[in-house]
Structure 1
Amino acid sequence: MRVYIIVAAVFWCGYVDSRKVRGISSSYKRFYRERKSFLCIDGSRMIPFEQVNDDYCDCEDGSDEPGTSACPRGRFYCTNLGFRPHYIPSSRVNDGICDCCDASDEYNSHARCQNTCWNLGQRERAYVEGQMRTLDEGLRLKQQLIEEGVLLWREKQAQLRELQQVAEDLQVKLEEHRRKKHEADRLKEQTLKALEAGDGGLIRHQNSSVASIFHLLDSNKDGSLTVDEIKAKVVLVHDEQRVLSEDEALALLDRGHRMDLSKFQSTLWDVLTRGDTVKIKDTQGAPGSLSSEDPHLKAADRAAEWEATNLKKVEEAYETVNMEISDLQKKLAIDYGTDWEFLFLNGQCYKLKVYEYTYTLCPFNQVTQKSTAGVEVSLGMWGMWTGKPKNHYSQMVYENGEPCWQGGSRSTTVTLTCGTETALRSVKEPSKCQYIMDFQTPVACQPVLKQQGIHSEL
């Protein structure tokens, strides 16, 4: 008889103890040590200890019923040995649905729950281990990209210095060519003035030039100029479209119907050289009609044209180099990370097709959306880094894209995540004309993640 009493006592004590501690995490067990009374954890009320887990809610915070569904604000702790422990609302206890993988929430129901914590834990451990391997590989690749970024940064700085030196050299050449062009233009102007004034006999005493103009006017090459030939080749300076009259042509021929070379040199040549009344058709005007045949003016023209061409070439080269300098300075002014690890992204573009749209992310430049119809829309231009202080380089913002039909401009937030390759992973539009992107790259991997490790409960 005594044996039965002892067994019953042990059974009852075990039942009471399990009833009291059910649904309690190890950190809260100190509140549930068996005493004569129980103080609600919020301190609002003292109740007899036997009222703990009696399926009646006595405490406002529900702390007296951790293992039952009596209290609306209560929580039940799933130990889930082998997997992640967690809390569920106490209303789910013994409701016939298995919420805890260790089946501890359905201790007094008709549900036949299997303990799946070990299998879940295995899967999660495999996932975490895979993440850790990805992180290790990502950190290894990141170190390579950091080293490449430092070298690339130095190359860009050296390139900038070289371009600046080239610009300085071109500046010196530019001043020299401007000076030479000015001298060539001045020499041409002096030659023209000398021709106009007949200074030094540059035209009046250049028989070869006189002869060439005479032969130009002598269309039939018979050694004499006629009225018809004068009307065909000579025009008024101030009315080039009008053909000379018979009388005007005779006047230029000194009232004769024919004029030989010697008479041309002593009469009509002077009129053409003066250039104030008539000139040879299709020329730039007197004395150009004659001076264009002059070797001195031709040489001055060639020199002026040569210097103008050279000056233009140097000006274009100088402008091109300065544009390259400006572009390179803008690129180098961007924040590429503490070790320039993001520098390799500059000049790269990454695409992702989502339904009928193709999205393109060009880091530090822009984000675009292109439809199957070929219509391309800007979703924002590079703005800034907007990550939290602990991980400043975890988020980018691209703003001032094309206007949205509701007003305002499109913008895109790009979140950088750790991965072993650099690729655009997802694009969403949670609100109208506001886009979010997931961009995976090794340079987003952070060593601090390794400190988190695998959850201690696993």
Structure 2
Amino acid sequence: MRFHIIIAAFFWFGLVDSRKVRGISSSYKRFYRERKSFLCIDGSKMIPFEQVNDDYCDCADGSDEPGTSACPQGRFYCTNLGFRPHYIPSSRVNDGICDCCDASDEYNSHARCQNTCWNLGQRERAYVEGQMRTLDEGLRLKQQLIEEGVLLWREKQAQLRELQQVAEDLQIKLEEHRRKKNEADRLKEQTVKALEAGDGALRHQNSTVTNIFQLLDSDKDGGISVNEVKAKVVLVHDEQRVLSEDEALALLGGDHQMDLTRFRHTLFDVLTRGDRVKIKDTHGAPGSLVSEDPHVKAAEKAAEWEATNLKKVEEAYETVSMEISDLQKKLAIDYGTDWEFLFLKSQCYKLKVYQYTYTLCPFSQVTQKSSTGTEVSLGKWGMWSGPPKNHYTQMVYENGEPCWQGGSRTTTVTLTCGTETALQSVKEPSKCQYIMDFQTPVACQPVLKQRGVHSEL
């Protein structure tokens, strides 16, 4: 009989103890050790210990009723062994609905709840393990992309140095070709002036006489006729009047035809003086017909040659300068601490959502194309906009096409960890303000904050 009394007493005290500590996390159990009195955790009041969990709220912070619904501000701790522990409002204790997966919140209700913590824990662990596998694979791929980014960065830097060297060489060539062109132009000018002054006509008389004779001999029959003189020779002081036949005959010495020999000793001298007549559309005597002089032609050809070479070098220099400027702009972009995002440059990623196709070209622009083919800019590359501790988790694309309500379209791109690089989703939470989820290995971080699953399992 005494043995049964002892067992009953032990059972009773066990029930009392479990009543006292129900709804308490292990870190708070030190406040609920069996003693004569209980101090409210906020220190506001001291009460007899038997008033703990007596279904009456004595403490303002609700700490005396962790296992009942007596206190409006109270919290009940779900142990949830095998899953994530968490708190629920005390008002949900014994309300007939199981809020804790271990059913500990319905210890004194009509609800018949099963303990689902094990299954939930399994799913949670499977999820975390999957996340960890994704993270491990993502970090492995990220390391590859970092190595590729470093190599690509070095290649771009080497390319820039080469282009700058080419530009320097072209600059030297430009100066040389400009000097040669100026010399050729100066030589051409000097040759023309010498011929116009008559000096060239004297030094190159034979070739000049022949050139002028051939210029006047339109039909190339070896003689100059009256009609050819009338067609090509005009008075110096009245260029608009056509010579009469008598005037033309007088210039030909009274004959209707003049050969080269007679021309050399008669009409050529008259034309050379340039005081009475000249060849039409020229600015003086035959010596001014510089376009027909072989020395002028040679000078002009040399000047044209140098001008052509100069133009080619100028075009090459301009092309190289544009390439340098474009490359410098690309290299000025922040591609991450290890240039891990550099591989995204010049890449574009598409996603179709209903009747629209969205295209994200990192570090360039975002567009939206309708099923009818109309394309709208949703923003151009602006900046990284992630928090200070994780700066490279968000991109902003600004100054897209104007919205009908005013203002420009903008897009915010959030980067998430994944084993593939792809555009995952596009939303428009507010008019002309777009958000995108962009998955890529380079967004993976070495530490993934794991959810709180009990270590016992």
TM-score bracket, shorter-length normalisation: 0.7 to 0.9
> Match for 2:213 among 211, 214, 218?
211
Quote the RMSD (CA, aligned, Å).
3.3
Check 1:57–1:166 CA distance in 2 against 1; reply closer, same or farther (3 A cut): same
Deviation at 1:86, TM superposition (A): 0.8
Distance in 2, Cα, partners of 1:195 & 1:130: 92
* Mapping for residues 306-455 of structure 1, pairs under 5 Å: 306-449=305-448, 452=450, 455=453
1:260 paired residue number = 258
Check 1:193–1:259 CA distance in 2 against 1; reply closer, same or farther (3 A cut): farther
Q: What amino acid is the match of 2:181?
A: K
Q: Deviations over 1:44-84 (max 9, x none)?
A: 22223222222222222222221222222111111111111
* Structure 2 SS opposite 1:292: helix
Deviation at 1:257, TM superposition (A): 9.3
2:61 paired residue number = 61
Q: Deviations over 1:169-211 (max 9, x none)?
A: 1111111110111111111111221222222326754232123
Deviation at 1:5, TM superposition (A): 4.0
* Structure 1 SS opposite 2:217: helix
Distance in 2, Cα, partners of 1:88 & 1:239: 115
Q: Which runs of 5+ in 2 are unaligned?
A: none
Deviation at 1:164, TM superposition (A): 1.3
Instruction: Work out the number of aligned pairs and report it.
Output: 450
Check 1:101–1:279 CA distance in 2 against 1; reply closer, same or farther (3 A cut): farther
Q: Which runs of 5+ in 1 are unaligned?
A: none
Distance in 2, Cα, partners of 1:68 & 1:92: 9
Deviates more, 1:173-182 or 1:344-353: 344-353
1:14 paired residue number = 14
Q: Report percent identity of matched pairs.
A: 79
Asked if structure 2 preserves the Cα contact closer than 8 Å seen for 1:209 and 1:290, the reply is no
Distance in 2, Cα, partners of 1:38 & 1:235: 132
Deviates more, 1:139-148 or 1:173-182: 139-148
Asked if structure 2 preserves the Cα contact closer than 8 Å seen for 1:92 and 1:105, the reply is yes
Distance in 1, Cα, partners of 2:14 & 2:319: 89
Asked if structure 2 preserves the Cα contact closer than 8 Å seen for 1:231 and 1:245, the reply is no
Asked if structure 1 preserves the Cα contact closer than 8 Å seen for 2:230 and 2:248, the reply is no
Deviation at 1:433, TM superposition (A): 3.0
Distance in 1, Cα, partners of 2:327 & 2:361: 17
Check 1:20–1:294 CA distance in 2 against 1; reply closer, same or farther (3 A cut): same
Deviates more, 1:390-399 or 1:283-292: 283-292
Check 1:248–1:347 CA distance in 2 against 1; reply closer, same or farther (3 A cut): farther
* Structure 2 SS opposite 1:439: strand
Deviation at 1:253, TM superposition (A): 5.9
Q: What amino acid is the match of 1:125?
A: R
Deviation at 1:142, TM superposition (A): 1.5
Distance in 1, Cα, partners of 2:341 & 2:273: 73
Distance in 2, Cα, partners of 1:252 & 1:204: 24
2:129 paired residue number = 129
Deviation at 1:92, TM superposition (A): 1.6
Deviates more, 1:2-11 or 1:362-371: 2-11
Q: Normalized against structure 1, the TM-score is what?
A: 0.86
* Mapping for residues 144-223 of structure 1, pairs under 5 Å: 144-201=144-201, 205-206=206-207, 207-216=209-218, 218=219, 221=221, 223=223
Deviation at 1:426, TM superposition (A): 2.0
Deviation at 1:37, TM superposition (A): 2.5
Check 1:183–1:286 CA distance in 2 against 1; reply closer, same or farther (3 A cut): farther
Distance in 2, Cα, partners of 1:388 & 1:214: 87
Check 1:270–1:369 CA distance in 2 against 1; reply closer, same or farther (3 A cut): farther
Q: Normalized against structure 2, the TM-score is what?
A: 0.86
Q: What amino acid is the match of 2:100?
A: C
Asked if structure 2 preserves the Cα contact closer than 8 Å seen for 1:195 and 1:203, the reply is no
Deviation at 1:316, TM superposition (A): 0.6
* Mapping for residues 250-289 of structure 1, pairs under 5 Å: 251=247, 254=250, 258=256, 260-261=258-259, 266-267=266-267, 271=271
Deviates more, 1:286-295 or 1:433-442: 286-295
